[in-house]
Amino acid sequence: MRLELADAQAMRALGRSLASVLAAGDLVILVGDLGAGKTTLVQGIGAGLDVGGAVASPTFIIARTHRPAPGRPALIHVDAYRLGSIPELDDLDLDESIDDAVTVVEWGEGLAETLADSHLRVVIERERGGAEGDPEAGLRWVTIEGHGPRWSGVDLDGLLSARS
């Protein structure tokens, strides 16, 4: 299912909705061009998981762990843009914490799928042109696909439909 979102606020709202079905051990792989809204979606996921502190792009530190409220899973936010291989991703030791956290990997397609037997693939496209210069404005299109046994019985279409 492909969903059209009006702006960054709607992207964050989608992230909060998505957080309602995420649990410890879940892996989310974000696909999209620079500026598409990947980090904006993670901000919404962080809000939905009730993590402490601001969620910002971990571009320069590669991975950041956000501690949640008691009883909730941590959020591990990874930016794999500068990683060139699976061994480089392995060096982050994400497999040590993946069972206890929701792990979201930006730029992880082709690398992060090896971290778990199931994952969500979220593809984000963004309108170009009129919204240039305003990171909050502009249409986005989001497609969410579940892969593996964890997502076989989850109604992602229902989740997305409820948002629109």
The pLDDT of residue 84 is 74
The pLDDT of residue 123 is 97
At 51-103, the pLDDT tens digits run 988 898 877 778 888 888 888 999 999 888 878 777 677 777 676 777 889 99
Amino acid at 142: V
Residue 133 has pLDDT above 60, yes or no: yes
Strand-strand pairing, 119-126 and 140-147: antiparallel
The pLDDT of residue 164 is 47
> Between residues 122 and 54, which one has the greater pLDDT?
122
On whether the CB atoms of residues 122 and 109 are closer than 8 A, the answer is no
- Which option is the CATH number for 2-163: 3.40.1160.10, 3.30.67.10, 3.40.50.920, 3.40.50.300? 3.40.50.300
Neighbours of 55 (CB within 10 A): 23
Contacts of 22 (CB under 8 A, 6+ apart): 28, 45, 48, 49, 73, 102
Q: Provide the b/e sequence for 82-92 (b: ≥16 CB within 10 Å).
A: ebeeeeebeeb
Is the CA virtual torsion 122, 40, 103, 105 positive or negative?
positive
Q: Region 97-123: what's the mean pLDDT?
A: 91
At 10-59, the pLDDT tens digits run 999 999 999 999 999 999 999 999 889 999 999 999 999 999 888 988 77
The pLDDT of residue 149 is 96
DSSP state of 148: S
pTM over 0.85: yes
